[in-house]
Structure 1
Amino acid sequence: MMTLSNTVYATGEGTPLVLVHAFPVDHRMWDDCAEQIARQARETGDPSVTVWAPDMPGAGTGPIPEPADSGRVAADGALTDALDLMADAYVDLVRAAGYDKAVWAGLSMGGYVVLDIQRRHPDMVAGLALCDTKAGADGPEARANRLACASECEATQTVKPVMHFADATPSDSSFKQSDEGRALFARWIGEQTPQGVGWRQRMAAGRPDLSDQLPLVTAPAAVLCGDKDPFSPRPAMRALADAMTGTSPSFTVIEDCGHFSAVEHPDQVASALLDLVRRVHLRD
């Protein structure tokens, strides 16, 4: 059984908001956004909200599962059951705290988790936010690249193969190009473990195509992306929102923003997530 290390940012009323982080960082990418959610809720007179951000297995303080708890291993080394087992662990965490539903917000790899929760536990979805992510599985080249990265991290016992996530190009956002932004991501990535990075890459490589889940979402939903996101560009995120025909998702494009929107513009992401929480409460 997978064990998740959970960070509780705020304890309030009603359905919890569970923030699911991106790769190759951990829950800390939500720090400023969670603070903004609490502040904006106070300023607008909303009831205080419960905000969590668990670490994925192998991220931050999240323990790496034993092989028996990671499920089947494909011939190429991808973990074909791991996303499902992790989605179950997130749901178990919420249920163990006495809740029967949560509002799930996932950024990038976190979006894979949220969509898999929708697939496996639709009754647990009170609301759903997809930030800078995608629904499809990796193609053959992307899958091979993930597995090569995992093998290199494990063989060299370094996280150097993923340090490029801290780099910036001339087309990146102002934050990503800043000394502050580069230093922050370099620190977060440098504090991950090679084994944890490898596990998450193998999990993501083995995940299924979740595109068929988009029209099955009936809960209030939100879709967010940065206008300079190189991995989940605006047209792809617009198409993702349009595919959610069972609900009416809000669609937010954040200007001068790359892939890690909750880090780059935490106030705007917080505003969109708080709006989603309000819509969930109105529905309840």
Structure 2
Amino acid sequence: MPVVLLHAFPLSSVMWLAQREGLSSGHQVITPDLRGFGGSVLGEEAPSLDVMADDVARLLDDRGIDRAVVGGQSMGGYVTMAFCRRHPDRLLGVVLADTKAGADPAPAARRREELAAAVLARGTSVLADEVLPGLLGRTTVARRAMVYGRVRALTLSASPKAVAWAQRAMAGRPDSFDTLRGLAVPALVIVGEEDELTPRGEAEEMAKALPYGSLAVIERAGHLSALEQPEAFNRALAAFLAGPMGPQSRA
């Protein structure tokens, strides 16, 4: 089964190494770099999650894949919801990890613009103070120095232009709860127990909105649960993928 996993901000597809290794024996795991991150090109389009979602659709076309399970963590979840709006016929299932369906309130959108401007002016070192502290749970910060170091390195290596573009794209995203309510495929919401950016309460609201939704809580993990607790994350994802996929009957 094709499974597309979309990475968190401001990382790259490298974050999915444990998922590629853990799930590839039973599934075709596809982990692209979203535009501007990793090895991908940013391009000239105006900032929009819809642009990223269409990139994913073109990737499926290029690989001859009609439908897939599409999921993402954090920003990757936002792109997944945009994909659900624009390409619902391409879905077998949906995975939304440590993300949220609501639009940014005005103060949060302004803060994204301020961060975009700061990164363009001073570089990604800004992210070490402004973004990195919220990405990892307290257990990881206290006990998993290698994970912390890996995330810090990925954060600081991001392209300033891509970081600014992505911040502006996320600031402009719409509320996606109606999109979730309209999904006719199975969906899994995953949240780290220690996630303070998109906490469990928001994940529970998303799961309730989904007609065929379920919730998995990853213990001792923060906003990057796939990196912080990869074994637990993989178990939850594998169990979901083992279930029936595709459009569900409402009868």
Give the partner amino acid of 1:222. Answer: L
Structure 1, unmatched stretches of 5+, are: 1-14, 42-47, 71-78
- For 2:72 and 2:17, the matched residues in 1 are separated by 14
TM-score, with length taken from structure 1 = 0.81
- For 2:27 and 2:239, the matched residues in 1 are separated by 12
Task: Report the equivalent of 1:21.
Answer: 7
Task: Report the equivalent of 1:76.
Answer: none
- Partner of residue 155 from structure 2, selected from 183, 189, 202: 189
Give the partner amino acid of 2:192. Answer: G
What stretches of structure 1 move > 6 A for 4+ residues in a row? Answer: none
Task: Report the equivalent of 1:142.
Answer: 108
- For 2:223 and 2:246, the matched residues in 1 are separated by 30
Give the partner amino acid of 2:156. Answer: G
SS at match of 2:240: helix
- Partner of residue 41 from structure 2, selected from 56, 63, 71: 63
- Partner of residue 51 from structure 1, selected from 14, 20, 29: 29
- For 1:22 and 1:107, the matched residues in 2 are separated by 5
- When residues 168 and 112 of structure 1 are mapped into structure 2, their CA distance, relative to the original with a 3 A threshold, is closer
- Partner of residue 127 from structure 2, selected from 135, 155, 162: 162
Structure 2, unmatched stretches of 5+, are: none
Q: What is the RMSD of the two structures over their aligned residues, measured on CA atoms?
A: 2.0
- Partner of residue 267 from structure 1, selected from 221, 231, 235: 231
- For 2:21 and 2:140, the matched residues in 1 are separated by 19
- For 1:106 and 1:196, the matched residues in 2 are separated by 18
The one-character-per-residue Cα deviations of 1:49-107 (angstroms, maximum 9, x if unpaired) are: 100111111111111111xx23xxxxxxxx3xx21121111011102211111101111
Task: Report the equivalent of 1:257.
Answer: 221
Check whether the contact 1:87–1:116 (CA below 8 A) recurs between aligned residues. yes
- Partner of residue 95 from structure 2, selected from 113, 129, 139: 129
- When residues 218 and 168 of structure 1 are mapped into structure 2, their CA distance, relative to the original with a 3 A threshold, is closer
Is residue 167 of structure 2 the alignment partner of residue 201 of structure 1?
yes
Structure 1 residue 229, shift from structure 2 partner: 0.3
SS at match of 2:103: coil
Task: Report the equivalent of 1:120.
Answer: 86
Query: What is the aligned-residue identity percentage?
Result: 34
- Partner of residue 220 from structure 1, selected from 167, 178, 186: 186
- When residues 89 and 168 of structure 1 are mapped into structure 2, their CA distance, relative to the original with a 3 A threshold, is closer
Give the partner amino acid of 2:222. Answer: G
- For 1:125 and 1:229, the matched residues in 2 are separated by 27
Is residue 118 of structure 2 the alignment partner of residue 152 of structure 1?
yes
Check whether the contact 2:68–2:90 (CA below 8 A) recurs between aligned residues. yes
Higher-Rg structure is 1
SS at match of 1:279: coil
Give the partner amino acid of 1:176. Answer: V
Task: Report the equivalent of 2:240.
Answer: 276
Structure 1 residue 257, shift from structure 2 partner: 0.9
- For 1:150 and 1:23, the matched residues in 2 are separated by 13
TM-score, with length taken from structure 2 = 0.92
- For 1:209 and 1:260, the matched residues in 2 are separated by 22
- For 1:265 and 1:131, the matched residues in 2 are separated by 13
Give the partner amino acid of 2:157. Answer: E
SS at match of 2:237: helix
- When residues 199 and 259 of structure 1 are mapped into structure 2, their CA distance, relative to the original with a 3 A threshold, is same
Check whether the contact 2:98–2:195 (CA below 8 A) recurs between aligned residues. yes
SS at match of 2:222: coil
Check whether the contact 2:36–2:159 (CA below 8 A) recurs between aligned residues. yes
- When residues 166 and 85 of structure 1 are mapped into structure 2, their CA distance, relative to the original with a 3 A threshold, is closer
Structure 1 residue 166, shift from structure 2 partner: 3.2
Structure 1 residue 252, shift from structure 2 partner: 0.7
- For 2:244 and 2:69, the matched residues in 1 are separated by 8
SS at match of 1:154: helix
Check whether the contact 2:134–2:223 (CA below 8 A) recurs between aligned residues. no
